[in-house]
Amino acid sequence: MIPVAFDYQRAGSADEALSLLAQHGDEAKLLAGGHSLLPLMKLRLATPSVLVDIGRLDDLSYIRDSGDHVAIGALTRHRDIEISDVLGQHVPLLSHAASHVGDPQVRHRGTIGGSVSHADPASDLPA
């Protein structure tokens, strides 16, 4: 159970998410996969008054072959990295490493952007 009340806002676009963050300042937190933020909220280590849900912003979830590099969106799930044909062809070690992140539930819900922003070594890709 999350012991503190909060307002929930689902952003329809990245611009709307940025606007909501600007409007609510430090009281707002982004929510995508939830594997980092929700446990902190349950332990009262994070107490945002507003959650801005960006989990359905498909334009931030992608793996693209851009010719001289591969681009990965912040909302790309670990599982998508694990099974990506593009990464399997160009960066197979990254796909393999993604298969060792957490357990299947974490890989299916957790995003690479969430892992990076949370800055917890436990959620980093294995080296």
At 104, the amino acid letter reads P
Tokens 């982004």, located at residue: 30
Among residues 36, 42, 82, 81, the alpha carbon closest in space to that of 55 is found at 36
* Interval 70-113: pLDDT, tens: 999 999 999 999 999 999 999 999 999 999 888 888 889 889 88
pTM above 0.75, yes or no: yes
Among residues 10, 74, 77, 2, the alpha carbon closest in space to that of 38 is found at 2
In the chain, what are the domains?
1-57 (3.30.43.10), 61-126 (3.30.465.10)
* Interval 16-42: pLDDT, tens: 999 999 999 999 999 998 888 888 999
